[in-house]
Structure formats: structure tokens, C-alpha cells
Amino acid sequence: MIRLLIVDDHPVVRDGLRGMFAGDDRFEVCGEAADGAEALAVARTVEPDVVLMDLRMPGMDGVSTIRALREQGFPARVLVLTTYDTDSDVLPAIKAGATGYLLKDTPREELFRAVAAAHRGESVLSPAVAGRLMGELRSPAREPLSQRELEVLGLIAQGCSNKEAASRLFISEATVKTHLLHAYAKLGVRDRAAAVAAAFEQGLLGNGQFFRGSPR
């Protein structure tokens, strides 16, 4: 019998999953949690074989919880079960240590097979997720942004115009535009707002070190 821990912040989802697995004697729902911190506490007590993990939860989210489970040495396999299949959800979860990734529209029998496969240590991915991962693997690695490109983006993020950024960095406005175009290409975006958003999402502008305040 495979012991399951269900982690989801919606009670109706937990109730539905518990009722679904209760009807099959191959599984036992040994615990439930509404967020990551509770999941860690319950996992210590019930020692599940497989954790069905939602991703977007208040407090400690799914990716942070998956990472904590691995770092704290829990042997349970983690099978993500979520509504979201964007790159910003899929890739961090897999990198954090999830054994599989399914969407909540997965049919019952397919979910049962996935849990059993995850318990055996096999990777389980929904077709949409598998497609995204293959696309990521096939995409050429983008060149990292230079320090100057980061400085320009940092000033743009602060609300500076191209002219103001040029003045702050002691370079020409045309050079600022050139740095921005290079940054767009490296980030795979087409405009200033998208470049700043992508840089923040990738942690490039999140530590306050993107602009040193002195000319070169």
C-alpha cells in the first residue's frame, strides 16, 4: 500500500483527492496539509511514500517545500499536481527535486498510475509539461547579460529615461539604446518593460547590486 500525503491549500481539492484514493486499496491517504510548512510537519509524523504537491500556496509554496523535503532528507517522492504548466512553474519544481509533474485535469486512472510510478522512482510528466521541458532542452543557451547591460536595465527599472541613464553612466544615449537592444535579445523580449520584468524574474535585478553608481 502506497502512503500518500496530500498538500493543497483548497479544502475541496483535498477532499476530492482523499475520496478518490480511498476507493482504491492500493493507496492510503495518511495525511493532509494546506501549505508547505504544515506539509513538512505532517511528513515528519506520518512518513509518506508519495507527496501530492500543489505549487501556488500561501506562505511556503510548493517549490520551496519540495526543496526543503530534499534538503531535510525525506525519502518520499514528490508528484506535483497543479493547474499551472508555465515555464516559471514547471522548471523550478523539477529542479527542486519533484519526481513528476501532472495537471489537475489528469484522469483518475492516469493519476493512480502516476502515483505508483512515482513511488517506484520513475519520472512522470503530463504531455504539456514534457513538451515544455523538451523545448527548454532544445533551446540554445542565451548569453548572460554584461555588467553594463545590467546597469542600464537597473536604471530603467528605477524609472530613468534613456537620456537620464546615459547621464548617470557617463555614456551616450545611443550607447544606452545599444545596450538595451542587446539585453532584449539575450532575454528574449521586445521592449523595456518586458526586459525589466524578465530580469527581475531571473533574479538579475533583485539584490540591489545592478548599479554601482560610478562611471567606468
Q: Mean pLDDT for each 10-residue chunk of the chain (216 residues)?
A: 97 96 94 97 96 94 95 94 84 90 93 95 86 64 85 93 94 92 88 89 68 39
pTM of the prediction? Answer: 0.64
pLDDT on residue 210:
44
* Cα radius of gyration (the chain): 22
Sign, CA dihedral 197-199-205-211, equals: negative
The whole-number pLDDT of residue 10 equals 96
Q: Which three cell numbers stand for residue 116?
A: 505508483
User: How many Å apart are CA 18 and CA 50, to the nearest integer?
Assistant: 14
Taking phi first (over 0 means left), then psi (-120 to 50 degrees means alpha), and beta for anything else, what does residue 213 get?
left
What's the rounded Cα separation, in Å, for the pair 134 and 118?
Answer: 20
CA distances from 168 to 149, 191, 192, 200 (A): 14, 21, 18, 21
Give the per-residue pLDDT at 6: 98
